[in-house]
Structure 1
Amino acid sequence: MEKLASILVLLCFSFNALAQDVPGPKKDKLWNEFTYDMGNVFNGMGYSYSRPAHWQGEQWGNFGMLTAGTLALFLVDDEVYNWTQEWEEDVPQSIKDYGHKYGNPNNNYMFTGAVYLTGLFTKNEKLRRTGVLLISSATAGGLLQQVSKRIVGRARPKSGDSSGTFDPIHLDRVFNYDSFPSGHAMLAFSNAYAIGKQFKSPWIKAGLYTVGMIPGMVRVLDGFHWISDVAFSTALSIFIVESIDKYLDKKYSEKYNDTRKEVDWSLQFGLNTVGVSVSF
C-alpha cells in the first residue's frame, strides 16, 4: 500500500510539472511539431485529472447523478448478466472478435497513433489535434482504470462470484478481481466520442457512438464486466475527452464544428427503469 501511495504522489507531482504552458512549435519543423503535440498529450492528461478541483455545483450534481446511476445498475448487475447469457450464443462471433480486439490497448494505440502520424506528415493540423486528443484521452483513461482496478478489486462475472464481491487494495493486479472499471469500454468509447466531434450530423455521431459501445457490451456478454462497470466507464470517457478537448482549444487554432449542437447526456430514472438519454 505504501508503494501504491508513493506512485500516486509521484504522478501528482509529475502532472503538476507538466501543467506549465507548452510553447508553440516553430513552423515547418516536423520535430518541433511532434514535441509540441506530445507535450499537449501529457498536459491534457494533467488538465483532465485536475478538473474536479475546479467543479462547481452543477458539475458536482452531475457527478452525483453518475454515482447514483452506477449504484442503481449495481443493484441489478447479476440479473442483467444472467439475462445476457440467455442470448449470448446468438451474437455473431465477428462482433465478439471486434469487441475484444478494438478495445485492446495495443490495437487502440495502433489506431490512434496512425491518426496522429497521418496528420503530422500531411501537415493537417485538425487531424494532428484529433490524434493528440485520441492519444491523450486513451492514456488518461488507461492509467486511471489500471489504478482503480487495483484499489477496487471487484470480481468479474466469469470468476463465479456475485457482483458484490470485492478483494480490494492490491499493488499487483489480481486477475478475475479487476472488473471495475472497464478499460475496453473506456478506450473504445473515448475514440468514438472524439471522432464524433469531427461531424455535425447527429446520425453519424449516433452511428459512431453505437459502434463505440460494442466492445463494452461484448465484455459483459463474455463475463469480463458487469453492466455498471461499462456504464460508468462510458460516462467517464466522455468526461475525459471533453476536458482534454477544452484544454486543446487553447493550443490549436483548428476547432471542431464551432456551430454544432452540444450533446446532452442525462440519466433517466423511472419505475423499474434506469438508463442514459442522449440529445443532439
Structure 2
Amino acid sequence: MKADDYKVKGTIKLQDVPTHEDFGKKDDLEDELDDVSKDLADIQNKLYAHGKYAVLICIQGTDTAGKDSLIREVFKNFNARGVVVHSFKVPTKNELKHDYLWRHYIALPERGKFGIFNRTHYENVIVTRVHPDYVLGENLPQINTVDDITPAFWDKRFEQINNFEKHIAENGTLVYKFFLHLSKDEQKHRLLRRLNKPDKNWKFSAGDLEERKLWDEYQACFEDAINNTSKPHAPWYIIPADDKPTARLILAKILLEELQKYPDIQEPELDSETASKIEEYKEQLHGEE
C-alpha cells in the first residue's frame, strides 16, 4: 500500500470508497503495526530534538469508528513528552465566547511535538451543519435564526479552515487529516456489541441511535468537507475502518511514509567544543568514586 492510494486528490463520493480491506490475519497486522509504531516513535524523538516542525494529526469519523483505540495502538511506542492528544467535546461557555477555531488554535502542538485531534475543527462544518441550531450558540453577528445560516455561510467556513491550515503549515506544522470510513452495517454491529457486553455498556448513549438516524446527512457533510478542504499542505486520507487492525496499520504506514519525506528531521549535531571533549567527560564520570 502507498499513501497516495488513500489520499484525496480530487472530488470523491464516499459511497464509492470502500470501507473494508483485508490485509491478512489480525496477529500479523498487529505485529506489523508494532514495527511501524516503533519507526514512528524514532521519528518523533528526532522531531523533538530537531525542534523545527510540529505534526498535527486530525482524526474524524462517525461514532464507533474506532478513533480512541486507533490512537492508543498507533502511538503506544511514543515518548509521552512528545505527543499530546486533544479530544474535543461540546464547546464550553468560555469557548463559545471566542471564534470557533480558537480552542483548536490554542491546542496546536508546539514545535518538536505531535498533536492529535480526536474529533477536530471539522465538527464545526459537520455536526453544526447537521444541527444548524448549534451555530446559534456561537452568538454570531447577523446570525439570529437558523434561516440566516445559508450555503454561503458554510462556504465561508471552508475558506476559513483552509486559511487556518495553510497558515500553520507555512509556519512549520505538518498537517495530516484522516477520515475513518465506516459502513452503516458495521456501526450497527459495534453499537450492539456495546449493548451486549456489560463492560462496554458505559460507552453507549441513547443519543447514538438518534444520530444514527441522520446517517445520510452526516455522510453528505463529511463528503462536502473533505472535497472542499483536501489541499497539498493539509491532505485528507480516507481510511477503510470496518476492520480496526487494518485501519490502524494503514494510518500508521501513511504517516511513516509521509514523514520520511523530511530527511532534515534529524538530531542536531553537537557543537565542536562539546564533541571534542566527549572522551574527557567520559573519563570524569568513570573517575568518580
TM-score (norm 1): 0.26
Q: Which has the higher contact order (CA 8 A, sep 6+)?
A: 2
**Which is richer in strand?**
2
TM-score (norm 2): 0.25
**Which is richer in helix?**
1
Find the structure with the greater CA-based Rg: 2
